[in-house]
Every structure is written in structure tokens, then in C-alpha cells.
């Protein structure tokens, strides 16, 4: 069973490493801008890095949910590729936000677009699975019969 | 295997949409109350919406854990129904908190109650599964034999 | 299938209870130091407890990812034991941070070390699984053949 989701697991593990990297960046920024814990304000530069990480944390469980539901109910390879693009988008977001407030926008747009795509794939996959399981009607089979 | 957890996946996907909706509301509130990122203070109205979202984020992984453990180890349909009620409670919480600080309480109580129920179901399901697997003692079978 | 991950589920459920406990502690601290929601500042004592919880939230999805990937792709029992040590480390972190800013460090170090171990186990497990699935080369079998 584990074999059927190994790519999703690999993308998830990479995303966990990215989250750890972001957290480390905040720690480094605390040193650089001399913001002692528990404070999270006092320097606009620090606050941008902190908010960039906070925003990534906010979207992280949401990302994991759509990654796994699209991977399990639509297609594992497709979901994994989009997952990698999402992580790239988040990296662009973080490095952009670090530079300036406006710099967060390009990466943010990539991230949101990918989440939307994964959401739609999940929705499609889950819906066809529910119809198949509870109404005994296999949408995919019916469509493929139309094109023999 | 995916078929066995499709309802949990559906509730999870709905919950992801709700998290995205809350994040969008914070974005809209930033516009309305003119709170430019990375700042998160400056208007009591904005701060309530922001804290409502933050609190929902805090509870989100916890919710996913008890939803899936109760669904996999107790009963999928029961867990999914309680999951839906939780999402309803979170909606009441968010809209209530948006209006006033006290307005957060009814929805919060619904949410906490459902988490407690899902926790108890998970605990029961996991405990019987561990007893069955490691001590070769099937609690459910023994009980059903008492009532033939 | 659920039987194969019951220990991971048990550790996850325990971690959910810990997150709920941390959230409760922040609620209690709001009462004690009279910090009315939505405010999260105003008392250094409250801010430490609040940041301790926030930090635990930040690391929570990351912990769940490495716990499950190492449990599914390396070894369930090993992952579960390290998972328990992580929860212990987080408890030390929270109670230490509550007392003083420096008090957060020992528990934090335990937590980070465990995450690193689980990450390495996951990486090893996922890599061997991908090599086996996509390149039809079973690393574990080849190694065990060297020592017949």
C-alpha cells in the first residue's frame, strides 16, 4: 500500500524540509535584526520574513490535504508534479517577501494557482469515487466506452 | 484502499476550501481597514478577523488528525458527519468573531465539543485495534458473542 | 490496512491531545494576565506562553509528515518511539519557555534532533521504495543477500 503513495510521501518530505528551512531563516533574522524571543516586531525587515514564514505555515496543512486527496483519488504522478511547482512557488514567495512587501506577489500567485488546480483534481477524483462507491456508477468506464 | 476513506477525503477537501475562504476574508479585511502587510495590528475590527483565522489554523491539523483516526479506526460515516458539524461550528465561530469578541463563543463551543467526541471515538477505535493486533483479543467480537 | 499504522495513529492522537493542552494553557494565561482577545501582547509572561504554543503549532504539521513517512516507509515501531520522545521534548520546551526565554532551549533541541532523525529515516525509506518501484532494484534484498 505504501508503494502506491511513495511520490506523495517524497513531495511531502521535501515540503517538510522547506518548512524547516523557512523556520531557520526566521531564527537567523532574529539574530541579524536583534529581535529577542518572544517578540515578533521591531524591525520591518524581520517582520516581512516572519510574516512570509507564518503565511507558509497557514497554507501548509491546506497544501498537504489537496496534494494527498488529488494524488490518491485522481493521479499520483500529476499531483506530485504540481506539488513540486507549489514548493517552487513558495520559495519564490519567501525570497521575494524577504526583499520587499510587493516582492511576495509573484510567488503567491503561483502558489494559489497550484492549490486551485490540485483542489479541482481532488474534487473531480473524489466525486467520481463517491458516485462509483455509493451509486455503483463508474463515470470513467462509461466515458471510455463512448470512445471504444 | 482509497475507496475506504473517500468520505474522509471529501470532508478534508471541504475543510481546505473553508481555510482558503478564511484566508481570503483576512485579505479582504486588509483592504477594507487599510492594514498593509506585514502589519497585523492597527484596527480592532481587522484584529478580530485575523485572530479568528489564526485560531482556525491552530486547530486545523488537530481536527484533521482526530477526523482521520476516528474515521479509520472507529467508523468512517460517523466521523464524516461529526467532521461536517465541526466545519459548521467553525463557520459560526468565524462569522461571530468578525462581529464581536463575545460572538466567537457559540461557534467555539460547537468546535471544541466535536473535537472531544472525535477524540473519544479515535481513542476507543485505536485502543481496540491495538488490543486486537498485539494481544490477539478482539473486543468487538467478544462483546457481540455476549449478545448472539 | 488501518492495522498497519495503528501505532502512528496512537502517537498522532496523543500529539493532538498535547496541542489541545497547549491551547488551553494559552486560554488560562489570558485569564491570569488579563489579556482579552483578540490582543496577543501586553505581558511578557503571556507572550512567552503564547509564543511557545505558536511555535508548537508551526512544527506540528512538519512533525506529522516525518512521523508518518518514516513510519510507513522505514519502520512503524521505531518511528512511534521517536514520535513519543518528540512529544516529551515539546513538553519540556513548553514548560521551560513558560518559565523564561532561555528555558525554551533544552526542549527545543530535543525536538529538533528527533525531527532530524525522523527526516533521515523517512528519506532512507522513501528512497529505497522509489528505487524498488521505478527501477525494480530492491536495495534491502541485495544487502541481505550479501550476508546470507
* pTM of the complete model: 0.92
What residue ranges of chain B have pLDDT lower than 70?
Answer: 1, 148
- For residue A112, what is the DSSP state? H
The Cα–Cα gap between C81 and B130 comes to 15
DSSP C106-124: HHHHHHHHHHHHHHHHHHH
**How near does any CA of chain A get to the CA of C49, in Å?**
9
What domains can be seen in chain B, in order of their start residue? Answer: 5-146 (1.20.120.550)
Chain B residues in contact with C23 (beta carbon < 8 A): 58-59
Q: Judge: B38–A44 Cβ closer than 8 Å, yes or no.
A: yes
Structure confidence at residue C105 as a pLDDT band (50, 70, 90): very high
Report the residue of chain C nearest B98, measured CA to CA: C38
Q: Which three cell numbers stand for residue C148?
A: 546470507
**How near does any CA of chain A get to the CA of C5, in Å?**
11
Q: What is the pLDDT of residue C145?
A: 79
B-contacting residues in C 117-146 (Cβ below 8 Å): none
pLDDT (tens digit per residue) in A28-85? 999 999 998 778 888 889 999 999 999 999 999 999 999 999 999 999 999 999 999 9
- φ/ψ of residue A10, rounded to 5: -65, -45
Average pLDDT for chain C = 92
Smallest CA-to-CA distance from B17 within A65, C36, A93 is with: A65
pLDDT (tens digit per residue) in C11-34? 999 999 999 999 999 999 999 999
Residue A136 confidence (pLDDT) above 90: no
C-beta separation of B21 from A147 below 8 A: no
**Partner residue opposite C38 with nearest CB, options B1, B47, B122:** B47
Interface residue A15 vs chain C (CB under 8 A): yes
What SS3 state is found at A108? helix
Amino acid at each position: 500500500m505504501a508503494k502506491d503513495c511513495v511520490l506523495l510521501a517524497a513531495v511531502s518530505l521535501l515540503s517538510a524540509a522547506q518548512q524547516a528551512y523557512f523556520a531557520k531563516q526566521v531564527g537567523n533574522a532574529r539574530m541579524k535584526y536583534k529581535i529577542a524571543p518572544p517578540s515578533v516586531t521591531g524591525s520591518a525587515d524581520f517582520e516581512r520574513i516572519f510574516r512570509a514564514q507564518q503565511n507558509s505555515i497557514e497554507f501548509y496543512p491546506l497544501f498537504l490535504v489537496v496534494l494527498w486527496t488529488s494524488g490518491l483519488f485522481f493521479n499520483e504522478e500529476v499531483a506530485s508534479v504540481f506539488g513540486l511547482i507549489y514548493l517552487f512557488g513558495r520559495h519564490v514567495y519567501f525570497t521575494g517577501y524577504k526583499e520587499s512587501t510587493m516582492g511576495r506577489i509573484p510567488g503567491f500567485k503561483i502558489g494559489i494557482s497550484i492549490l486551485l488546480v490540485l483542489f479541482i483534481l481532488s474534487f473531480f477524483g473524489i466525486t467520481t469515487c463517491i458516485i462509483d462507491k455509493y451509486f455503483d456508477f463508474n463515470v470513467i468506464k462509461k466515458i471510455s466506452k463512448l470512445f471504444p
